[in-house]
């Protein structure tokens, strides 16, 4: 255990704290049990270490451990937690919990046994704590960390700091850009770079191998993270990667499930499950009709890749501008809002607001007879009447 404490102290000391994700400030850190899930590469480990660094506690009372560490091949988490607590430990931060088979049961045991031990854990976006032995859903506050918003990207890579803007404020008829941005702010200068290489924080490490890293990340999610799902057949990984590749070349993809099953040799009954796993892994996003119900299994209206960086990385040819616009809008909007397909336009948000996405020449003809409806344009800098700039939806978080 001493070696893990030493490694933890080194990691905490080295983690940078000049930039915090917006989620960091929304988490009620005083809660006894907090779960943080998210896709690979979105910065969960950094956020966890930043929290530990913020605590005015000696290193022996706070510890970071990754449950894929070789230490846990022989030692149990519950025994480690017991030893840490008995030695005066107060904050137990657990990373990559999905790599440890009995993580829910043992975290529950630690939570129930030691009333003054605080536990924070991270795991893959695929994990569903209600479906594991030792259900934590009544105990843990769960949050999801998405990739960088355009606002966070400007702060993180270009040192331009601006506030979060709520959707209701963006849509308010009295919205004033000057209340949020300086007069010299030029919103489109870095926007294309963000769309291509700005979603994942590891962009800071260099862009020369960025696309290759995203391809490797996608493969790792399918071959490693999905392998942790109970009942998942790892022999299907190659077919799932083929499924992902087919979607990537045609996004937004309007699924014909019978045809898709035939092309990938995946049984029709299994196809819905694999699409669901890819969606939960944040490799794709499925768009459903406005009246979609989670209680019924329905075919999605469209399938997108999760974010625009994946579109550029996985497409074999230059992506279509329309696909990039819609992917960006749905990705940034879906983090805090419900997005569905609109029968009259592209999207309905929170069952209230309708949006049609297009370029500078897009007219409002398609939404003229609708209330609470806007055209979103990707190459304008400022709002005009019923037209809103696409980039501003990157300031929602």
Does the pLDDT of residue 133 top 80, yes or no? no
Stretch among 73-77, 250-254, 291-295 having the lowest mean pLDDT: 291-295
pLDDT at position 312, please?
97
* Tokens read off for 366: 């398609």
Angle between helices 44-54 and 2-14 in degrees, nearest 10: 90
- Are both 137 and 179 inside the same structural domain? no
Domain identity same for 166 and 226: yes
Judgement on whether residues 184 and 271 belong to the same structural domain of the protein: yes
- Average pLDDT, integer, range 45-53: 98
Name the residue with higher pLDDT: 233 or 285.
285
Average pLDDT over residues 109-130: 91
Q: Which of 26-35, 177-186, 292-301, 329-338 shows the lowest mean pLDDT across its residues?
A: 292-301
112 and 9: one domain? yes
Q: What is the CATH number of the domain that holds 136?
A: 3.40.50.300
Q: How far is CA 79 from the centre of its chain?
A: 32
β-pair partners for 144: 37
Q: What is the pLDDT of residue 297?
A: 60
pLDDT at 162 over 90: yes
Residues 178, 119, single domain; the answer is: no
Average pLDDT, stretch 300-323? 96
In sequence order, the 6+-apart residues with CB closer than 8 A to the CB of 68 are: 96, 99, 100
Percent of the chain scoring above 70 in pLDDT? 96
Q: What average pLDDT does range 75-101 have in this prediction?
A: 96
Residues 75 and 112 in one domain: yes
Q: Which of 91, 113, 145 is at the close of a domain?
A: 145
Residues 123 and 225 in one domain: no
Cβ contact 146:335 at 8 Å: yes
Q: What percent of the chain has pLDDT above 90?
A: 81
> Computed over its alpha carbons, how large is the radius of gyration of the chain?
22
Q: Does residue 296 carry a pLDDT above 80? A: no
Report pLDDT for 275: 92
Cis peptide before 385 (omega within 30 of 0): no
155 and 111 both lie in a single domain: no
**Average pLDDT of span 85-111:** 95
In the predicted structure, residue 130 carries a pLDDT above the cut 70: no
Identify whether residues 234 and 368 lie together within a single domain. yes
pTM: 0.92
Q: Which residues contact 296 (CB under 8 A, 6 or more apart)?
A: none
Range of the domain at 261: 150-395
Query: Taking all residues of the chain, what is their mean pLDDT, rounded to a whole number?
Result: 93
Domain total of the chain: 2
Q: Which of 123, 145, 167 marks a domain boundary?
A: 145
Phi-psi region of 24 (alpha: psi -120 to 50; beta: other; left: phi over 0): alpha
* 8 A C-beta contact, residue 191 and residue 300: no
**What pLDDT, on the 0 to 100 scale, is given for residue 132?**
62
**Pairing relation of β-strands 339-341 and 302-305?**
unpaired
Residue 324: is its pLDDT beyond 70? yes
| Judgement on whether residues 124 and 180 belong to the same structural domain of the protein | no
The mean pLDDT of 290-300, rounded to a whole number, is: 67
141 lies in the same domain as 165: no
Q: What is the pLDDT of residue 128?
A: 74
Asked if residue 38 and residue 90 are part of one domain, the reply reads yes
| Last residue in a domain, options 108, 130, 145 | 145
Region of poorest pLDDT, from 9-18, 40-49, 292-301? 292-301
């Amino acid at each position: 255990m001493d070696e893990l404490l030493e490694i933890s102290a080194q990691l905490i000391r080295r983690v940078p704290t000049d930039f915090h994700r917006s989620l960091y400030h929304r988490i009620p850190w005083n809660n006894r049990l907090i779960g943080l899930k998210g896709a690979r590469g979105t910065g969960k480990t950094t956020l966890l270490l930043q929290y530990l660094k913020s605590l005015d506690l000696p290193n022996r009372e706070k510890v970071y451990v990754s449950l894929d560490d070789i230490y846990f091949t022989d030692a149990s988490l519950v025994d480690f937690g017991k030893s840490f607590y008995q030695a005066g430990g107060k904050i137990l931060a657990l990373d990559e919990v999905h790599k440890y088979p009995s993580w829910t049961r043992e975290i529950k045991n630690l939570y129930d046994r030691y009333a003054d031990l605080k536990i924070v854990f991270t795991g893959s976006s695929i994990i569903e704590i209600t479906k594991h032995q030792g259900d934590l859903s009544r105990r843990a506050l769960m949050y999801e960390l998405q990739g960088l918003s355009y606002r966070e990207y400007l702060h993180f890579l270009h040192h331009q700091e601006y506030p979060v803007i709520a959707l209701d404020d963006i849509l308010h008829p009295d919205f004033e850009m000057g209340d949020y941005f300086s007069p010299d702010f030029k919103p489109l200068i870095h926007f294309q770079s963000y769309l291509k290489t700005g979603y994942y924080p590891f962009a800071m490490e260099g862009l020369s191998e960025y696309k290759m890293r995203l391809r490797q990340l996608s493969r790792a999610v399918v071959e490693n993270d999905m392998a942790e799902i109970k009942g998942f057949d790892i022999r299907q990984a190659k077919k799932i990667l083929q499924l992902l590749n087919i979607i990537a070349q045609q996004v937004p993809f309007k699924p014909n499930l019978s045809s898709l099953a035939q092309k990938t040799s995946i049984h029709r009954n299994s196809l819905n499950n694999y699409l669901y796993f890819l969606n939960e892994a944040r490799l794709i996003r499925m768009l459903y009709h406005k009246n979609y119900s989670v209680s019924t299994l329905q075919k999605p209206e469209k399938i997108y890749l999760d974010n625009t960086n994946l579109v550029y990385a996985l497409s074999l040819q230059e992506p279509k501008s329309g696909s990039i616009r819609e992917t960006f809008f749905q990705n940034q909007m879906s983090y805090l809002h419900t997005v569905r397909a609109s029968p009259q336009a592209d999207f309905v948000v929170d069952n209230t607001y309708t949006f049609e996405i297009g370029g500078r020449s897009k007219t409002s003809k398609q939404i003229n007879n609708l209330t609470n409806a806007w055209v979103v344009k990707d190459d304008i800098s400022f709002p005009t009447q019923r037209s809103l700039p696409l980039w501003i939806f990157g300031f929602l978080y």
